[in-house]
Amino acid sequence: MERVLAVAAEVFAAQGLGATLADVAKHADVGVGTVYRRFANKDDLIYDVYADRVHATEDLAERASKATDVWAGFVSFLEQSLMDLANDRGLRELTTGGYTESLGWARGTPPTRLAELLAHNHTTMGVHLTKLVRRAKRAGVLRKDFQATDMMVLSHAAQAAMDFSDAERPQFYRRTLGFILDGLRPSREAPTPLPSPALTDADLLAIRRR
């Protein structure tokens, strides 16, 4: 069943959690009955695909909250979590609330494991990010009015930049992230150099026409 899990990870990453068990079976070149014999419903499959990755986001947040250089930890967490979410639509939907309303609709056993995983993730991430933000404020590197709950808002803003750019400019979102990070700092002598150039008029026209 390792093949089914590997294929499911690819399908969910590309299509999101709206993909069905039939979609997974088709890409794995097996009958849908084979998938159902191993997984009572899609929620169980999602759990097995994503449990380790969800826990990895918690580990990432914990390391950031304990970083010696708290600003470096803050930036590292934001950049790495953005990349993880950008590369996996399913993970993005799962951890940012895009799938929670669908919990329990699938036939079979109740989605207890998945619901508990998401509830634990919400609590754990809140603890680590609150600590990270508190330390950054105390160190004077983060504006005082920023709250841990703002992290998801910023994540969505950067995700929008990722969706706006194209395969030829995979790093363009970092320009938006640069503006965001500078806006979070309480003071600086000069704007921080941006890690990506602006779009040209031709770039913008091409993206709008795609």
* CATH code of residue 194: 1.10.357
In the chain, alpha helices (H): 2-15, 21-28, 32-38, 42-65, 70-86, 89-95, 112-138, 150-164, 173-184, 201-209
Same domain for 53 and 21, yes or no, is no
Same domain for 34 and 78, yes or no, is no
Q: In angstroms, rounded to a whole number, what is the distance separating the alpha carbons of residues 198 and 89?
A: 26
Question: Which residue did the predictor score with more confidence, 209 or 156?
Answer: 156
* pLDDT at 33 exceeding the cut of 60: yes
**Which two structure tokens, joined as six digits, stand for 39?**
């997984």
**Which two structure tokens, joined as six digits, stand for 15?**
């299509």
Q: In angstroms, rounded to a whole number, what is the distance separating the alpha carbons of residues 129 and 148?
A: 6
Read off the pTM: 0.83
Same domain for 165 and 138, yes or no, is yes
pLDDT of residue 170: 66
Q: In angstroms, rounded to a whole number, what is the distance separating the alpha carbons of residues 94 and 117?
A: 10
Give which of 13, 105, 77 is closest to 50, Cα–Cα.
13
Mean pLDDT of 86-92: 87
Q: In angstroms, rounded to a whole number, what is the distance separating the alpha carbons of residues 166 and 168?
A: 5
The count of domains in the chain is 2
Question: Which residue did the predictor score with more confidence, 144 or 197?
Answer: 144
- CATH number for the domain spanning 25: value is 1.10.10.60
**Could you tell me if 39 and 21 are in contact, meaning their C-beta atoms sit under 8 angstroms apart?**
yes
Q: Which amino acid is present at 173?
A: Y
Q: In angstroms, rounded to a whole number, what is the distance separating the alpha carbons of residues 184 and 103?
A: 35
* pLDDT at 203 exceeding the cut of 80: no
Mean pLDDT of 184-202: 83
Question: Which residue did the predictor score with more confidence, 121 or 33?
Answer: 121
Any idea which residue has 């770039």 for tokens?
203
Query: 195: pLDDT confidence band, cut at 50, 70 and 90?
Result: confident
Domain that holds residue 84: 40-209
* pLDDT at 100 exceeding the cut of 70: no
Any idea which residue has 């950054």 for tokens?
136
